[in-house]
């Protein structure tokens, strides 16, 4: 079916992250190697074993009245999506057909902050005091639904949940919809706001979260002393558009979605398959979909969570695809943003696009103690000025989900 496929480009981007509340500030944070991690302020830490998180700072939803009816996940998702729409110059009903414009919004957890706060309210004040807008605040599809309402997008609007690969899957599936002619434009990305005390305790008790209290040593992907990930929050969206459609309306083109691969380990509910076979297949599929070879990839934005299992497995997967002694540059921007769960892949997709545009490879900050078992080039501590033609972003999720995107420079 290759003859029927259409090219998919990125024409707008928006971000709300722990290191910057808009696209410009987010990328500046990446260039500076800014650490977005600090002591959690969203809830009382009494009784919690872990205390560090990557929160979005100084964020206020612009419509304060509407904010009372929107969980934080929707507030940040709408904000990032509208920035992407404005960045692209997209005007539904004017320069794009609303019926050919879709929304795919990813989340791993949904409106968990509202769930927990309303349960506490019900226990203290009674069931009659539960909010009448509880359900539309917590159901995962309302991130996509609210974005569609705000933008007038009347094509396919859906949510997607594949744990920590959700954001990457959302962009990949959106690209396929355009590539095969179902839509011309898609607002695609992810949002997550999981700083609720019981949810956080669940992650801690499964031993996934770092217990360190030094903000510069608790999220250390590929470091020998890594002991878990640091939870983050935020949102990122991009406008995907058919190439000729974008050209016809004079849109700026940031880059191209060249390839997409998605697989499942079918191995364990939380652990990756130790040999990295599923992740390797996803990378191979994405590279083949792009019509290139592994040698063409200049930079990999790794899943790089900082858990002992993930970083070792991911390194093995990269070696399966690129060779045991590959010199491809690899980094984990989670060292700066923390792990945004369902939104992580969308944030990291933007990092890959901006890396090509700016000819800059993001660093893995605070990587100080080399692990002899992890012997690839993880771009430690300092970013690099390099020309990049192809970049790859990899995301792995609980349940064995693997998703990979390949981007091509505009």
Given a contact cutoff of 8 angstroms between Cβ atoms, the answer to whether 53 and 230 are in contact is yes
The phi, psi pair for 238, rounded to 5°, reads -135, 155
- How far apart CA 378 and CA 130 sit, in angstroms, is 48
Element (H, E) at 122: helix 112-125
Residues with catalytic function: 164, 303, 339
- Per the structure block, which two tokens stand in for 283? 């990378």
Given a contact cutoff of 8 angstroms between Cβ atoms, the answer to whether 184 and 95 are in contact is no
- How far apart CA 240 and CA 188 sit, in angstroms, is 7
Give the DSSP per-residue string, 33-58. T----EE--SS--TT-S--EEBPPPS
Scored b (16 or more CB within 10 A) or e, 78-108 reads bbbbbbbbebbbbebeeebebebbbbbbbbb
- How far apart CA 310 and CA 301 sit, in angstroms, is 14
Closest of 323, 336, 342, 370 to residue 110, by C-alpha: 342
- How far apart CA 281 and CA 262 sit, in angstroms, is 8
- How far apart CA 131 and CA 119 sit, in angstroms, is 10
């Amino acid at each position: 079916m290759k003859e029927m496929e259409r090219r998919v480009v990125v024409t707008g981007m928006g971000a709300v992250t722990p290191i910057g509340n808009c696209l410009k500030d987010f990328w500046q944070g990446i260039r500076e190697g800014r650490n977005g991690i600090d002591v959690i302020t969203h809830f009382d830490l009494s009784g919690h074993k872990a205390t560090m998180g990557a929160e979005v700072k100084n964020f206020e939803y612009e419509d304060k009245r509407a904010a009372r009816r929107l969980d934080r996940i929707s507030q940040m998702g709408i904000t990032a999506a509208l920035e992407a729409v404005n960045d692209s110059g997209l005007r539904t009903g004017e320069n794009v057909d609303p019926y050919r414009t879709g929304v795919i919004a990813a989340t791993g957890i949904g409106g968990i902050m509202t769930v927990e706060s309303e349960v506490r309210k019900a226990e203290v004040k009674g069931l009659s005091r539960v909010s009448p807008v509880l359900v539309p605040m917590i159901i995962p599809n309302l991130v996509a639904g609210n974005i569609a309402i705000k933008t007038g997008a009347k094509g396919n609007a859906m949510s997607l949940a594949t744990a920590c690969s959700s954001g990457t899957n959302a962009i990949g599936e959106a690209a396929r919809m355009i590539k095969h002619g179902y839509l011309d434009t898609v607002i695609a990305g992810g949002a997550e706001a999981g700083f609720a005390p019981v949810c956080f305790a669940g992650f801690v008790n499964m031993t996934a979260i770092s217990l360190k209290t030094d903000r510069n040593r608790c999220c250390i992907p590929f470091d020998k002393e890594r002991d878990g990930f640091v939870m983050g929050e935020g949102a990122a969206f991009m406008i995907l558009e058919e190439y000729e459609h974008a050209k016809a309306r004079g849109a700026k083109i940031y880059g191209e979605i060249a390839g997409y691969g998605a697989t499942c380990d079918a191995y364990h509910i939380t652990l990756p398959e130790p040999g990295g076979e599923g992740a390797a297949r996803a990378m191979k599929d994405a590279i083949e979909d792009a019509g290139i070879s592994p040698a063409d990839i200049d930079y990999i934005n790794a899943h790089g969570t900082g858990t002992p299992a993930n970083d070792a497995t991911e390194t093995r997967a990269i070696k399966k695809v690129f060779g045991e002694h590959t010199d491809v540059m690899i980094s984990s921007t989670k060292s700066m943003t923390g792990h945004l769960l369902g939104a992580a892949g969308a944030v990291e997709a933007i990092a890959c696009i901006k890396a090509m545009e700016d000819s800059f490879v993001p660093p893995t900050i605070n990587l100080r103690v080399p692990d002899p078992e992890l012997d690839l080039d993880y771009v430690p501590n300092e970013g690099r000025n390099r020309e990049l033609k192809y970049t790859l972003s990899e995301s792995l999720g609980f349940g064995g989900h693997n998703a990979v995107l390949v981007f091509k420079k505009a």
